[in-house]
A and B are shown apart, each in its own frame.
Chain A
Amino acid sequence: MIESHSPHYDAFKSILNTIDTKRVQELLAYMNTEAINFNLFKNNAFIERKFPFDIIPRIVPPEEFAYLEKGIGQRIYALNLFLEDIYGAQKILKDGIIPSEFVFSSKAYLPAFANTPVAKNIRVHISGIDLVKNSVGDGWVVLEDNLRVPSGVSYPLSLRMLTRKVFPEFFEKLPIQSVHDYPKHLEKAMEYVNRGGINVILTPGRYNSAFYEHSYLAKESGAILASGDDLVVEKDKLYLKTYSGKKARVGAVYRRLDDEALDPIEFNPDSLIGVSNITQVYRSGNVAIMNSIGNGIADDKGIYYFVPEMIRYYMKEEPILQNAPTYLAFFEKDRNHILQNMRNLVIKDVAEAGGYGVVFGSKLTKSEREKLKSAIIAEPRRFIAQEVIEFYDIECLDENGTLSPRKADLRMFSIYGEDIFVWPGGLTRFAMDPSSYIVNSSQGGGFKDTWILKESK
């Protein structure tokens, strides 16, 4: 179902109707020349791929953004407190708000980092919260909190820069908020937590799907883009090697790789993209790692269930944003509900990400359902289930120039530095297949820009 047309969207379309859509080709040419890629790995092969995009933006009116901004700010603040608590006094467990066993059984909880203080008590420096707009009740619902390495911000940013060049009409006539200062906010946040030295963006390398983004953010924020073997640890400090032979102290690292790959000494010894002993520097307080190590426990799909309770517990406030109705197989009552209502639920494997491990019960055969039921009974901690949300479609301009509805979500980015900055833009991802609910970029989904308006018209 398409969201009923707002005056803003109607204004957009009336401008769209006056322009020659062949100019989309000009935009496409720009995107190609700039190599704005989101690469894929398929069958163990690297595929350099343009990130499919659509020129029709998601338009968010200012009052709606104000609501989202407040809700996301609240959520990030609470999740940060949760991480501080979990890797500290663990009051939330002691007070029985979240079952200890549920936390301790998560692979994402890293007890080796308990009582490791972080700069300025900030752990969730960069986050991407995935939301959808529910066609039932017309409200925003949070689907996921991405607090480890959320990617995607550079794509709408780049698209915005190019759209302004090709279609200035929209920006003349509509009160669209500027998004250009994201890299500046990132730089400020890096400076805020920096432990002395330069800022670095740590990339897994050219064959990572989001290498374009790493490169873009480094350039725009003034940080140095480095891969693991560009960095070295000496006497509990981290350094960037330079070609002159000198070494530059690194004070903050915005890492774009998972904990598991970060340090072969501490985590996976087979990691070739990490930095040996970087965790030791982190423990010594000599480098800020953004996002912090161990954040995975806060965006575990099972922990998501408890976020509203976290907000109540830490902030004594009611959550502004809603979760999707979720059942934890870990709880017997919920498990029974899942087993009995599987056809009506989306079942998610908490260990998976990027749209993988998401199963619609209605699409399973009887034997597949039985197999999944057995897996849930055997490993209840591994699964959650959610009510299917009939979220709104958004119109996309297809190759023939006609409008076609597609399921679309919204990833909103925020940066936690001196304050929490919720970026007045976002990555709207849409399903390429009109019948699909899966919008993830790693599953071949496309993207749109998100225009936040300054004032209602």
Chain B
Amino acid sequence: MEIAIIGEGEVVIRFIDRHGHTLLQERLVVSGPPGVQALRHVSLAIGTVRGPAELAPVVASLSNPQQRVTFDGEDPARFARRRCKAIGCSATVARNAARGRAPAPTPRGPGFASVGEPAMARVLRAASDPARRRG
């Protein structure tokens, strides 16, 4: 699948299996002049220890509301709904995916590189607080 990104900002895409579990999250950050565009090619299947899994992409967040994203030239919500149906998601999972709702990945267990970062939106809000800026 081709992900096209038009405009600057950070896009978080979660790839869910038919049960609605996020198996992979990609955070894509694009910077450049007005009119900048990016393309990313991804596979919609992954091999897990439980066997191969088909994936549906969900746009979980956009840092810039002016930024546009398409999946194979199609609106992400429509693509996610159609892909969810194709891989056997329930109607609830498909509806949530179309609305950009997918759980964050939760790496755990032995042998995992951990990530426990705070969401940057919250950090920016706190850093922008006038009281904090005055020191």
- Is the pairing of A and B real? no
Binding site for B on A (CB under 8 A): none
